[in-house]
Amino acid sequence: MAIGVFDSGVGGLTVHHRLVERFPAADFIYLADQANAPYGGRSGEEIVELTKAGCVRLFAEGCDVVVLACNTAASVALRRLQQTWLPAYRRELGRPVNILGIVVPTIEAATGLPWEHEAQWREEKAEKVDVLGVFATPATARSRVYEIEIDKRRQDVAVFSEPCPELARMIEAGAPREELAAVIDRHVQALKTRIGRHPDRAILGCTHYEIVADLFQAALPAGTPLIRQPEATADALARYLERHPEFRPGERGVRRFLTTGRPGEQNSLVETFWGTPLRFEPA
Ligand code: DGL
């Protein structure tokens, strides 16, 4: 079997890269739905349908587990697909398959609590509030998933999301770093104005933003901790595979990269964290 990794574009490669480091022998197939990127400005129904099509494609390639390395797909579509589509699809396929997301591991990392934990102490007063900023696509911000799920678990954390409508598209198109830095700075300042101060910690809640994490770090006050989604997702996948021995991640070290968009080499921003250019095959 192989592990599928899905994103609208190149952002999910940040997660994929960490997964490959963590499971070097495993077989990986990455799918970028670049024909339909960016997802962040799309309606919920469109995101559900596109995410489903991506998963179907990866299952057809032999993947048993698909990791949605996309906050927009995970926050808008994952629960819907798991509840309303996957059970019947599994029966149709006749083998166990599953879809995992990126939001649950991020919330576990942000709260320091396992997902199963929900606060029992809602009446207690929090002495100090830790302000957590979330930079995300408009669709992820609209879902309020980080606000809702963190609030269920930690009363002493206040979450403020900043939608960044143009950023994933710019990163996907390989925009120059100075242009990206100016946009990121504007969003960091907008969030600061809304909160009344800078956040204590931040989540880069779109995997594209991880590619320019250093620009966020430079725009935020020095030393602001960033919650790293690639790391959190790799930890969560390791725990998942341990609990589910029926899913074997392969052992040939296969690395395939598929795109619904233009095949060939990806933009040079990808090279900055991957080290070498990546060639994509048509999906
Ligand atoms: N990288 C994705 C995310 O984490 C999607 C960005 C987009 O397509 O708008 O949300």
Q: What is the dihedral angle through the alpha carbons of 237, 84, 77, 5, rounded to the nearest 10 degrees? A: 40
- Of 142-156, 157-171, 260-274, least confident by mean pLDDT is 260-274
Mutate to test the pocket of ligand 1, among 7, 13, 164, 212 (most ligand atoms within 8 A of CB): 7
83-86 own/partner pairs: CB under 8 Å, 24+ apart: 85/52
What's the pTM?
Answer: 0.94
* 122 has a pLDDT exceeding 60: no
Q: How many domains does the chain have?
A: 2
Helix (H, G, I), strand (E, B) or coil at 201: strand
Write the CATH number for 72. Answer: 3.40.50.1860
pLDDT tens, position by position, 56-82: 999 999 999 999 999 999 999 999 999
| Active-site residue, 206 included | yes
Q: Is the peptide bond before 38 cis (omega within 30 degrees of 0)?
A: yes
- Please tell me which residue, 170 or 116, carries the higher pLDDT value: 170
Give the β-pairing of 28-32 and 255-259. parallel
Domain match, 153 and 81 both: no
Domain that holds residue 76: 2-102+230-282
Which pLDDT belongs to residue 265?
A: 83
Domain match, 148 and 257 both: no
Domain match, 18 and 41 both: yes
From the CB of 38, is ligand 1 less than 6 Å away?
yes
